[in-house]
Amino acid sequence: MVRAILCAGACVAASVLLAGAMKADGLSERARKLHFSCIVVDTHDDTTQRLLDGKFDLGTRTSAGSIDIPRMREGNVGAIFFSIWMPSKVTGPDAVNRAIVQIDAVREQVRKHPNDLVLATTAAEIRDAHKQGKIAALLGVEGGHMINSDLGVLRKFAALGVRYMTLTHSVNVAWADSSTDTSAHNGLTDFGKQVVREMNRLGMIVDISHVADKTFYDVLATSEAPVIASHSSCRALCNAARNMTDQMIKDLAAKGGVIQINYHIGFLSQEFRDAEKANPQIEKEIDAEVKKRCGEVEACQLLEKEKVLRGLVAQGKLPRVNWTRIIDHIDHAVKIAGAEHVGLGSDFDGANMPYGMDDASHLPQITNALLEKDYSESDIQKILGGNTLRVMEQAEATAKRLGGHP
Ligand SMILES: [Zn+2]
């Protein structure tokens, strides 16, 4: 708006130039060219839950949720880790079985869409998929509760193609503390350290999103390979226990790891968190409304919560969070740790997206914004996916050295 008013008076020539450089969606030609030449990797997506109802198919463009093949094409997603997730209250053999059902659901989508998707388990397979013009689908298990304290189950997940595991979700597991629970193990137990070592041997990346700070430091001391925070943001900008402190980001980077920035508004915006905290009743209202609409169906809950929240923003009861907060967190992490240690972990279809980043089709905006901040093309290429590919290669090399997979 400001630009339009200025140009109406004096900058006709400038506006002609601008029209030549920018398309209607606000992307510069340079940004478009760069974005569509990169392998864009998203390390955390929760669409798997939606596959379980048997009706949702990735091949059809919908307005619900954030991910399907057409919108991934529009945003040039090159590789996406589909999260295998269920609430932490599901435990024991039930958790193992439900994980296998979800892994199968992702693999079936790959089978149904051979022209668009290919299952990938290594960085080289992602690069091959890119050359063939396909989207690489990968698997990540979100929560150590799904291995039922059994390294044999962990090995089976690896054999089915799982390439990272988030050690905990929002509640402690029997061998690791979560950031959103009361400490029970002082970080990782001895068995937890065995899990990390076995993951190193299997070439499965250790994901420290969700874990307690002490668990994170135990992982850093134990793991022989670099680790990732598949979907975490910066605690200095938004004080959520799930986010990483500047020191943690530095220490993660010193070990070669990557923090993949999460787009969830509750992890991006302190203002939003404060507004929620100032009105404890509002969270109860949101939960009650979501339950009324969805009952216990988790995929429905994930999607409906977004609509309920946006209704409250429209009524002025909660602040509006703009997508550019994602850029603020990327930029902060880059300043702390360097462009080699930052990536993208959207949490699409599992969290509440900021305005302007409703789905994967909006991803080129990130490239555009980083160019506007004078990031080099090579740094942007690393942030979009190059860094995650590097960590995968390092995890694969560690596995080879330890005599394991792949
Ligand atoms: Zn998560």
Mean pLDDT by 10 residues, the chain (406 residues): 37 40 75 98 96 89 94 98 96 98 97 98 98 98 98 98 98 98 98 98 98 98 98 98 98 98 98 93 91 89 90 94 98 98 97 96 98 98 98 98 81
pLDDT given at position 230? 98
- Say what the pTM is: 0.93
| Residue 296 CB coordination number (10 Å) | 8
142 Cα–ligand 1 center, Å: 7
Distance 171 CA to ligand 1 centre (A): 11
CA of 404 to the centre of ligand 1 (A): 28
CA of residue 198 to ligand 1 center, whole Å: 22
What is the CA(22)–ligand 1 centre distance, in A?
A: 36
Can you read off the two tokens belonging to residue 35? 């974005």
pLDDT at 8: 38
Nearest to 75 by CA among 85, 66, 87: 66
**Cα–ligand 1 centroid distance for 210 (angstroms):** 7
118/261 Cα distance (integer angstroms): 25
CA–centroid distance for 27 within its chain: 23
Q: What per-residue confidence (pLDDT) applies to 405?
A: 64
Q: What separation in Å is there between the alpha carbon of 83 and the centre of ligand 1?
A: 9
Calculate how far, in angstroms, residue 349's C-alpha sits from the geometric centre of ligand 1: 11
Instruction: Give CA–CA dist 320/343, Å, rounded.
Output: 24
For residue 54, the CA-to-ligand 1 centroid distance in Å is 23
CA distance 331 to 2: 25
Rg (CA), the chain: 21
Q: Compute, in angstroms, the gap from residue 14 CA to the centroid of ligand 1.
A: 45
- 77-84 and 135-142: which strand pairing? parallel
Q: How far is the CA of 52 from the centre of ligand 1 (A)?
A: 18
- The C-alpha atoms of residue 166 and residue 242 are separated, in whole angstroms, by 12
Ligand 1 centre and the CA of 231: distance in Å? Answer: 7
Q: How far, in Å, is the centroid of ligand 1 from the Cα of 348? A: 10
Please give the distance, rounded to the nearest whole angstrom, from the Cα atom of residue 209 to the centre of ligand 1. 7
CA of 285 to the centre of ligand 1 (A): 22
CA of 238 to the centre of ligand 1 (A): 16
In the reported structure, the alpha carbon of residue 166 is separated from the centroid of ligand 1 by a whole-number distance in angstroms of 8
Asked if the peptide bond before residue 406 counts as cis, ω within 30 degrees of 0, the response is: yes
Question: Ligand 1 centre from 265 Cα, in Å?
Answer: 13
pLDDT at residue number 406? 55
Q: What are the residue ranges of helices labelled H in 165-297?
A: 190-202, 213-222, 246-254, 265-268, 270-278, 280-294
